[in-house]
């Protein structure tokens, strides 16, 4: 298939298919037309890069001249037949492997295995990802430069699920792929879909995440076996990350997909029911202890979990979870609309051990102090640039905040015995004070308490590669783009003094001529006729076929 025919096929692709093509083939974003893209995809470098991601079975098929719908979508083949340059490079690459590597390139038996550990791993992973989503939903995260999480946040989130910090990104990647968290505009937030997902049973949570992983991964069996003979270090790192995610989701055991994975691929409902059989019944009870801890002996019902989360801090997520009630967690519940009586009534209703006296005292004491430090917005013009004020009847508390080194970046300035101003916004000041465990609340201009509402990111369509828009915006008229592409190629031939063979259509039959291009300008080619040793001038619009420029006949 020549460049022009490939360009026409590219142009006929729907936007989603084109996005997949340019993303997975890692097309340079500066390409200006479908001809440039087609030309790029046929280069040895582009094909070699694509082959690094292919499994041993796919490489063997390409080397034998066959393709698949997946490979056709990447334009490594067309209609089930591998493109000739792809076949040549795949065969050469396989021939170049050492004997052991060449043996590994053959298809590996990856029959599904009935793993006894897969269901428990899947349940545990669904719970841990849910805990991360819960925490992000409760407290959206401001990202550092290059969209990185602050180091302290990484440690806290990893500790909340009893995981290594290095595993955090892999789990957040799954949550993002499932549309549960969103990283935009310098913020990491839960999405509008997160609350319904968090309220769903554990098997449903797993199903959404595992399905998103499967849709984003092109070959589960190859990921399980690590069967990517031409992978370089970068590709291998991605495939190993996918394998770790698959194992934690219960989709891979050792070097084989699990029967749970096979069910997910062919009958997601059956996969959900298989997992549900391993989930203990949900409970509405906890053991409340005098040390302010609470232990749930099994997965909590969604409504109980949601309300308990509003007044307690989870310390260990899992089938059996452990919680702790603190002054800060109770204050957060009060700021969301809870009352002391309501909190104690709720705890009495779910506790199998009653409400211990230390718990009751903490709730009452926190409620009594709640609202003693009030934050509101102020007019920067009237306040010398300050954007927020904090006031309290407790003069000592005001003096303490004014000299608190942890708040120095917020710019506190004491303007009276009961008042401070800050250069940050009221919402930012509130977060900073709560972070340092001050009993702060937000109030409006009338002095009324502002209840904290959950912040959610909108549901977003997947952002397409910017090259897709560029190719679409350029429009497509085959004649015009052919001539533009042809003109660039002929100009290259002029620089290289490269002879070409052209098919020229005039008023009579098409004629083949061999020429050495001398100049291209104003839609015309000036060239020397290699056979007659004379110069000729031809309109580009009359040229219908080219050879000798790296284009197949």
552 pLDDT band, cuts 50/70/90, is very low
Q: What is the DSSP letter of 408?
A: G
Exposure of 58 in the CB half-sphere (CA atoms within 13 A): 24
Give which of 373, 403, 370 is closest to 391, Cα–Cα: 373
CB 201 within 8 A of CB 156: no
CB 145 within 8 A of CB 213: no
> Three-state secondary structure along 314-363?
EEECCCCEEEECCHHHHHHHHHCCCCHHHHHHHHHHHECCCCCHHHHHHH
Q: What does the alpha-carbon distance between residue 89 and residue 283 come to, in Å, rounded to a whole number? A: 59
Overall average pLDDT of the 71-96 stretch: 92
Residue 110, phi then psi, degrees to nearest 5: -125, 55
Pairing of strands 440-442, 373-377: parallel
> Three-state secondary structure along 57-125?
HHHHHHHCCECCHHHHHCCCEECCEECHHHHHHHHHHHHHCCHHHHHHCCCCCCCCECCCCHHHHHHHH
531 pLDDT band, cuts 50/70/90, is confident
pLDDT tens profile 410-424: 889 999 999 999 999
Q: Is the pLDDT of residue 204 over 90?
A: yes
Higher per-residue confidence, 7 vs 299: 299
Distances in whole angstroms, Cα of residue 50 to Cα of each of 38, 53, 493, 537:
14, 6, 29, 41
Give which of 42, 86, 54 is closest to 231, Cα–Cα: 54
pLDDT tens profile 339-386: 999 999 999 999 999 999 999 999 999 998 888 899 999 999 988 899
Q: Is the pLDDT of residue 105 over 50?
A: no
Q: What does the alpha-carbon distance between residue 5 and residue 39 come to, in Å, rounded to a whole number? A: 11
Quote the pLDDT of residue 448.
Answer: 83
Q: What does the alpha-carbon distance between residue 134 and residue 408 come to, in Å, rounded to a whole number? A: 30
Cβ-based neighbours of 318, under 8 Å, separated by 6 or more: 124, 127, 128, 162
Q: What is the DSSP letter of 423?
A: S
Percentage of residues of the chain with pLDDT beyond 90: 50
CB 59 within 8 A of CB 88: no
CB 104 within 8 A of CB 27: no
Overall average pLDDT of the 154-163 stretch: 88
Q: What does the alpha-carbon distance between residue 258 and residue 120 come to, in Å, rounded to a whole number? A: 13
pTM: 0.76
Quote the pLDDT of residue 291.
Answer: 94
Overall average pLDDT of the 198-219 stretch: 93
Distances in whole angstroms, Cα of residue 254 to Cα of each of 124, 189, 226, 272, 410:
18, 34, 11, 22, 51
Percentage of residues of the chain with pLDDT beyond 70: 93
| Strand, coil or helix: 294 | strand
Q: Is the pLDDT of residue 101 over 60?
A: no
Higher per-residue confidence, 434 vs 452: 434
* Beta carbons within 10 angstroms of residue 22's beta carbon: 24
Place of tokens 């942890």: 406
Cβ-based neighbours of 279, under 8 Å, separated by 6 or more: 123, 201, 202, 203, 299, 319
């Amino acid at each position: 298939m020549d460049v022009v025919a490939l360009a026409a096929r590219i142009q006929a692709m729907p936007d989603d298919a084109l996005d997949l093509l340019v993303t997975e083939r890692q097309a340079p974003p500066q390409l200006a037309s479908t001809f440039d893209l087609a030309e790029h995809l046929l280069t040895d470098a582009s094909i070699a890069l694509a082959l690094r991601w292919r499994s041993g079975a796919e490489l063997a098929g390409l080397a034998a001249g066959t393709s698949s719908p997946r490979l056709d979508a990447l334009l490594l083949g067309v209609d089930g037949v591998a493109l000739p340059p792809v076949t040549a490079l795949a065969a050469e690459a396989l021939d170049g492997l050492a004997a052991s590597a060449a043996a590994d390139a053959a298809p590996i038996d990856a029959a599904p295995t009935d793993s006894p550990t897969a269901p428990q791993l899947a349940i545990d992973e669904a719970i841990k990802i849910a805990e991360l989503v819960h925490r992000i939903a409760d407290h959206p995260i401001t990202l550092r430069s290059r969209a990185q999480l602050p180091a302290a946040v990484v440690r806290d989130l990893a500790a909340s699920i009893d995981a290594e910090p290095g595993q955090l990104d892999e789990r957040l990647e799954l949550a993002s792929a499932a549309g549960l968290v969103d990283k935009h505009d310098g913020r990491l937030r839960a999405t509008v879909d997160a609350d319904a997902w968090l309220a769903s049973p554990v098997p449903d949570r797993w199903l959404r995440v595992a399905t998103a992983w499967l849709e984003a991964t092109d070959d589960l069996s190859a990921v399980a076996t690590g069967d990517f003979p031409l992978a370089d270090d970068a590709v291998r790192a991605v495939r190993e990350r996918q394998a770790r995610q698959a194992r934690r989701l219960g989709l891979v055991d050792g070097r084989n997909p699990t029967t749970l994975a096979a069910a997910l691929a062919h009958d997601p409902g059956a996969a959900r029911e298989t997992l549900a059989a391993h989930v203990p019944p949900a409970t509405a009870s906890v053991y409340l202890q005098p040390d302010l801890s609470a232990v749930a002996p099994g997965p909590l019902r969604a409504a109980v979990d949601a309300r308990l989360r509003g007044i307690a801090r989870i310390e260990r997520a899992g089938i059996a979870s452990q919680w702790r009630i603190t002054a800060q967690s109770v204050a957060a519940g009060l700021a969301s609309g809870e009352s002391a009586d309501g909190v104690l009534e709720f705890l009495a209703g779910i506790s199998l051990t009653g409400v211990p006296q230390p718990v009751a005292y903490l709730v009452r004491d926190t409620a009594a102090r709640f609202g003693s430090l009030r934050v509101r917005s102020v007019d920067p013009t009237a306040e010398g640039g300050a954007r927020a004020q904090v006031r309290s009847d407790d003069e000592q508390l005001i003096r303490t905040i004014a000299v608190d080194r942890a708040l120095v970046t917020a710019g506190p300035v004491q303007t009276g015995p009961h008042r401070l101003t800050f250069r940050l916004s009221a919402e930012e000041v509130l977060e900073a004070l709560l972070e340092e465990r001050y009993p702060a609340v937000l109030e409006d201009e009338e002095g009324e308490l502002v209840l904290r509402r959950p912040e959610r990111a909108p549901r977003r369509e997947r952002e397409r590669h910017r090259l897709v828009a560029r190719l679409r915006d350029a429009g497509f008229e085959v004649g015009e783009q052919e001539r533009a592409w042809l003109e660039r190629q002929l100009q290259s031939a002029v620089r290289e003094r490269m002879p070409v063979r052209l098919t020229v259509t005039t008023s009579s039959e098409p004629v083949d001529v061999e020429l050495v291009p001398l100049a291209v300008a104003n839609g015309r080619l000036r060239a020397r006729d290699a056979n007659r040793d004379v110069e000729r001038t031809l309109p580009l619009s009359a040229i219908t076929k080219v050879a000798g420029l790296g284009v197949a006949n």
